[in-house]
Structure 1
Amino acid sequence: MKYDWKKEEKEIYMPKAKPEIRVIDKQKYIMIDGEGNPNEEAFAKRVEALYAVAYGIRMAPRSNYEIKGYYEYGVYPLEGIWSTKNPDNVLDKSQYTYTIMIRQPAFVTQHVFEEILEKVKIKKKLPLLEDVRFEEMEDGEVVQMMHQGTYDDEPASFALMKEYMKEQGYKQRCFEHREIYLNDARRVSKDKLKTVLRYFIRKI
């Protein structure tokens, strides 16, 4: 049976529409850095490169590439850690900096990533594949919630998260935040978009 992260890891990917505090352990990702407005082509090309590698790993057995410990799974959702070069105007998308990523199953190693990446480079002539890397990352203590609606409406949810973490005696560890995109914005109406929002926090 195919591993379904939505069912098996609800605490990570399916939080409630109200803030909650969680501890997120170390996870494996393929990722790529960028900056600027996410509505522009540069962002889309980075997403394309990430998914090319993600599906290269997912479909490896069909290409007669054996991965030790491999099991059938659904490709994880796109995620992003976001910041800005202009903290005084967080709505200026042209100043955004980001690292977007797709989580990988535990059986993926640096060696597996490098082998698959080379195979993908042969099949798909995407220049940005050169910038995709494999890395482990641990979020640790976070406050998170499910945001439903447009990305431009996220500030209202972030405000709820800030209020909640202060009530619980926490503050942000850093300016950056994580977003996990559970829908394809090209295929779902804006009011039905679901995004997991997450601040990295520590006790005051």
Structure 2
Amino acid sequence: MSKANKESLSVGTKIEYRKDFKDIYLPKTMPVIIDVPKMKYVMISGEGDPNGEEFARVSEALFSLSYAVKMSYKSNEVPAGYYEYTVFPLEGIWDLVDKSKPATDKSNLKYTIMIRQPDFLTDELFDRFVKRTKKKKQNPYLEKLTFGEIAEGLCCQIMHVGSFDDEPESFARMEAFCEEEGYVRSDYTHREIYLSDPRKTEVTKLNTVLRFAVRRFR
């Protein structure tokens, strides 16, 4: 890459999700309604306890690919339209395998976890980065990564502070808020966005965005 091209990458403002997308990633601890736009994600689906080894390896595959995209400005083939940005946080859409079992049975969970990607990433570039990452990382879940767009649309969300096990309290507040404001939950899957590293953060200080789809009923 030429010196001129390298210098051009440093021009402009770095995109940081905590500053540039506060409405999406940094809600208050009170429920709000938000219209979430279409965004690009690298994703992978699975089942089982998120505290297990498999989930850790799945997450590792997502971050490996995401950092390969971010650091691609150092390569000889800088993606067209590349801009500097902070890697987005891990997110997950959660559901139950067997709806007759309680949500507290973590072995009964199924998920699609994902990391948002910059606008310049294309299907062709995604395939290229997967191949490159597989040469550096021995992770079988890299083969199962997919790339696509998701438009969540109208949602209720809140910042949940504390243990994942206490999330039902926040969901109850969200549903009560929706009823008061004339909305009803339209999908019983939900999204979580992990803003804290549970390996390094006290349980009482974990920050997790909780979100579910809604529609107006009045």
The TM tier, using the shorter chain, reads over 0.9
Is 1:114 paired with 2:150?
no
Q: Give the alignment partner of residue 188 of structure 2, picking from 172, 175, 179.
A: 175
1:17 pairs with 2:58: no
SS at match of 1:113: helix
**Structure 1, 58-67 or 7-16: larger mean CA deviation:** 58-67
SS at match of 2:61: helix
- TM norm structure 1: 0.97
Percent identity between matched residues is 46
Whichever residue aligns with residue 73 of structure 2, its letter is P
Residue 62 (structure 2) aligns with? 50
SS of 1:59's partner is helix
Q: Which amino acid aligns with 2:178?
A: M
**1:23-62 to 2 correspondence within 5 Å?**
23-62=35-74
SS in 2 for 1:135: strand
Which deviations, in whole Å up to 9, do the C-alpha atoms of 1:117-157 show, x marking residues without a partner? 11101111211101001010011000001001111111110
Give the 3-state SS of the residue equivalent to 2:191 in structure 1: strand
2:138 is matched with 125
Once residues 60 and 33 of structure 1 are traced to their aligned partners in structure 2, the CA distance between those partners, rounded to angstroms, is 26
C-alpha separation in 1, matches of 2:58 and 2:76: 27
- Quote how far apart the aligned CAs of 1:64 are: 2.2
Residue type of the partner of 1:130? E
Partner of residue 7, structure 2: none
RMSD: 0.9
Give the paired residue count.
204
Once superposed, which parts of structure 1, at least 4 consecutive aligned residues long, lie more than 4 Å away? Answer: none
Q: Which residue of 1 aligns with 2:9?
A: none
Q: What aligned pairs does 1:154-173 form with structure 2 within 5 A after superposition?
A: 154-173=167-186
Say whether 1:187 aligns with 2:194.
no
Shift in Å at residue 65 of structure 1?
A: 2.4
Report the secondary structure of 2:188's partner residue.
strand
Inter-partner Cα distance in structure 1 for 2:26 and 2:65: 25
Residue in structure 1 matching 2:116, options 94, 97, 103: 103
Q: Distance in 2 between matches of 1:85 and 1:175?
A: 13
Cα shift at 1:63: 2.5
